[in-house]
């Protein structure tokens, strides 16, 4: 088996909940040795709040318990390549007063490290999206954590990988300052399209069926034409973006079940898919290999084989063992 692209990379993850652990999960899946650092108290709150989320986010990692500040932990920091944290600004400096020049420190916070009236404010995904202008386009609370995953974790991984490339050239690390709020504004690059793709046009809409839902994305004329041909409605060809046509298409989709529409439109290849629930993914041929027991894997493009073992219990691994491995 080929060596993974981040094999040998040493990552300390001091973060909690979703953004930081998801970022370190992606690094782990690409080959990094990720050590989750927890205190002897509550540790990562996600274990208690949402154990079903904690398990897939932290598989393949090690967990050590360290009450900071700690001399042994300082030695571990000296041997690490990357440190990820999600404390409020200023906390890391109290817990880890100094870091090596070569260390890449990825700091994930709600509003960034720069001085502002928001720097020290408490927050969660819904507030970051509200302030970033993203929530207005959703017209309701999003069902997935867009700020945590896109604004935070994804920007963190991109920043860390770029810093690793830079360090290979300069020998120096850097601070990667990730603001979940600022990172989420990247979702607004499609704001103009959002007005067109908000479900008000018949060619791009989620339709209720006799049982279930079907998502049609027939934006391009060729796909809409294939749809019209498949459902026997040639008179609709010029109405792809006409909101007045929506009630007629709504009525049509109610005449069959989701699975019946999928059977018909799959052959038409008109850019449409059934709306699956998460529980249905395991039985779907595209996703069956994504599961190991109850744990869903990620799909890093450069690393088809990812660690699928269970997530570590709090303090399952010894700091001394990590120090030995990271000599």
Helix (H), strand (E) counts: the chain: 15, 11
Residue of 312, 314, 311, 318 whose CA lies nearest to 40 = 314
HSE toward the beta carbon, residue 40, CA cutoff 13 A: 6
**Cα gap 290→276, rounded to integer Å:** 15
Q: Are the CB atoms for 37 and 14 separated by under 8 Å?
A: yes
Q: Is 173 helix (H, G, I), strand (E, B) or coil?
A: coil
The C-alpha atoms of residue 189 and residue 191 are separated, in whole angstroms, by: 6
Q: What are the CA-CA distances from residue 49 to residues 75, 186, 235 (Å)?
A: 32, 29, 53
User: Which are the catalytic amino acids?
Assistant: 148
CB atoms within 10 A of CB 271: 19
The CA distance from 280 to 94, in Å, is 46
- Look at the alpha carbons of 12, 110, 59, 7 in this order and tell me if their dihedral is positive or negative: negative
| Residues 6+ away with beta carbon under 8 Å from 186 | 150, 151, 155
**Token code pair at residue 62:** 């090690």
Cα–Cα dist 278/173, whole Å? 40
Distance CA 22, CA 307 (A): 14
d(CA 112, CA 106): 11
Strands 62-65 and 33-38: parallel
């Amino acid at each position: 088996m080929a060596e993974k692209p981040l094999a040998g990379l040493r990552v300390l993850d001091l973060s909690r909940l979703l953004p930081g652990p998801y970022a370190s999960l992606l690094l782990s899946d690409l080959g990094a040795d990720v050590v989750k650092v927890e205190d002897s108290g509550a540790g990562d709150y996600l274990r208690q709040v949402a154990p079903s989320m904690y398990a897939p986010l932290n598989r393949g990692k090690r967990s050590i318990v360290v009450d900071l500040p700690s001399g042994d932990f300082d030695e571990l920091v000296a041997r690490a390549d990357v440190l990820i944290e999600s404390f409020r600004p200023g906390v890391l400096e109290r817990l880890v007063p100094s870091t090596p020049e070569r260390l890449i420190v990825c700091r994930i916070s709600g509003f960034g490290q720069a001085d502002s009236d928001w720097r020290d404010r408490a927050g969660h995904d819904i507030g970051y999206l509200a302030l970033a202008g993203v929530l207005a386009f959703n017209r309701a609370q999003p069902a997935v954590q867009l700020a945590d995953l896109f604004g935070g974790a994804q920007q963190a991984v991109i920043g860390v990988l770029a810093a690793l490339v830079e360090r290979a050239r300069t020998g120096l690390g850097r601070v990667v300052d990730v603001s979940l709020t600022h990172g989420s504004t990247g979702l607004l690059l499609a704001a103009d399209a959002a007005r067109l793709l908000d479900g008000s046009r018949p060619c791009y809409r989620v339709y209720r069926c006799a049982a279930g839902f079907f998502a049609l994305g027939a934006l391009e004329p060729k796909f809409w034409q294939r749809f019209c041909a498949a459902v026997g409605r040639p008179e609709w060809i010029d109405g792809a973006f006409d909101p007045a046509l929506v009630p007629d298409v709504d009525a049509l989709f109610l005449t069959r079940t989701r699975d019946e529409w999928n059977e018909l439109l799959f052959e038409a290849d008109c850019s449409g898919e059934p709306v699956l629930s998460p529980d249905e993914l395991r039985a779907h041929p595209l996703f069956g290999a994504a599961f190991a027991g109850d744990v869903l894997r990620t799909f890093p493009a450069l690393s088809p084989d990812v660690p699928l073992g269970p997530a570590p219990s709090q303090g399952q691994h010894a700091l001394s063992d990590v120090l030995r491995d990271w000599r």
